[in-house]
Amino acid sequence: MTDSSAQRRILVVGAGYVGLTTAACFAHLGHDVICADIDRAKVASLSAGVVPIRENDLDVLVAEGIAARRLRFVISAEAVAPSCEFAFLCVPTPLRPDGETELSYLLSAIGSVAPHLAPGSVVVTKSTVPVGTAGKIEAAMGRPDVALASNPEFLREGSAVHDFLHPDRIVVGADDPAPAQRVAALYTGVEAPVHITDPTSAETVKYAANAFLAAKVSFVNAIAAVCEAVGADVDAVLTGVGTDHRIGSAYLQPGPGWGGSCLPKDTRALLSVSSDAGYVFELLEGVIRVNEQQLDRVAAKVARIISPEWGDGRLDGRTVALLGLTFKAGTDDMRGSPAMLVAERLHAAGARITAYDPAVRDELTGRPGVDADLASVIEVQPSPFDALRGADAAVVVTEWAEFADLDWERAATEMAAPRVVDARNLLDPQRMRAAGFAYDGLGRR
């Protein structure tokens, strides 16, 4: 906690994933935080302490902030802006179909708030934006008496609160070091190195970090394919690789492909920015291509384990049970979920799809980031056994711990045939085979 002398009044524009985490965590650090959003129902819900997203400890911090009167939610950012020293922009910046980042929400937000800010205040961009956006925001502000800084977020869904309060680094970019230092001071009480730079470099840090993580996952998935081809065991290979301190063990885990709301958007946005600047980023193009191939490989594994004799990948009349729908365990977010991308391929091959996810209890239609046509053909079930009943194969696509602890012996009796594709290498192959399953993982012998 900061002491009262260090308390600042902060306006957070946007109560989405990043905005709500930012607001709750700054309030926890002792600041007076006002979080504004245009969604009246969301503001009313949050004011009552009801958090609409699944995120560890976020509901606790929201309740704590409200009780301490350090956190409140409002509809109108303009009305409270004059009393705030900092205005954090945490609005969506989705990718458009043409690969460009949609900045209209961000520019609209700053256009509404900037005229009401007090001289000497600081606007802080927290939303992920294309390199060079700082200049556009500054022009939209039209306030030479208000400073601008970039403070990119590095939050992982499922551990966002922890990542905010225990970050690897705090990055602040500004043309003038004075406002950058003021922004950095808001994190007093957080033990992390502070990296102060210019706005363009700060914006690039965010994209570069996510592009590197995507590259690491694509590399691991490619190595899993190599292991299958040559007869090596990917678990042994990656244990040997991960002990090298130059590489490390983080993100050295094969899976169905990377996804979520950040990596797909940010890698494609970086490609677009690079192309516009005249650089052909072939390495990143390859990273994205390998990820698409991995999704295809998982779908192909399902076809092979069900009907190896067919050879054409068709699954007409077969039922496939998806275990997991969210893009990762610990969240209810389905935006960019590999599970849905695998489901899309299985449906195209003619499969009937049932599914279970502990964080998804109702139908998929209308959920953010889920294609309506695909949502209509996935039968969400209330338990894993309901999803597995009568299935010709199961696919573990999200790494929920309960799937590793599932009663697979019972599952074998529920299924039309005990077959499983473990796209997370979550299960014990020996146990699965002992339970009567045909088992196929990623890169495992």
Q: Using one digit for the tens of pLDDT, what is the confidence trace for 349-396? A: 999 999 999 999 888 888 888 889 999 999 999 999 999 999 999 999
> Do the beta carbons of residue 153 and residue 20 sit within 8 Å?
no
pLDDT tens across 147-165, in order? Answer: 999 999 999 998 999 999 9
Q: Is residue 22's pLDDT more than 50?
A: yes
Q: Read out DSSP for 90-106? A: ----PBPTTS-B--HHH
Rg (CA), the chain: 24
Name residue, tokens 């960019």: 336
* pLDDT for the residue 3: 44
Distance CA 161, CA 430 (A): 37
- Global pTM reads 0.91
Per DSSP, what are the bridge partners of residue 420?
394, 439
* Mean pLDDT, the chain, whole residue set: 94
Q: Is residue 2's pLDDT more than 70?
A: no
Task: Give the pair of three-digit tokens for residue 146.
Answer: 């208000």
How many H helices and E strands in the chain? 18, 14
C-alpha of 102 from chain center: 18
Region of 107 please: left (phi>0), alpha (psi -120 to 50) or beta: alpha
Percent of the chain with pLDDT strictly greater than 70:
98
Per-residue pLDDT, averaged over 101-123, amounts to 95
Greatest alpha-carbon span in the chain: 73
* pLDDT for the residue 1: 36
At 246 the three-state DSSP class reads coil
Task: Give the pair of three-digit tokens for residue 387.
Answer: 């999803």
Active site (annotated) includes residue 262? yes
Q: Is residue 5's pLDDT more than 70?
A: no
Distance CA 124, CA 126 (A): 6
Q: Is residue 310's pLDDT more than 60?
A: no
* pLDDT for the residue 105: 93
Q: What are the structural domains of the chain?
A: 4-197 (3.40.50.720), 286-440 (3.40.50.720)
At 123 the three-state DSSP class reads strand
Q: Which of 35, 84, 227, 262 is catalytic?
A: 262
Distance CA 47, CA 66 (A): 8
Using 50, 70 and 90 to split pLDDT, how confident is the model at 311? low
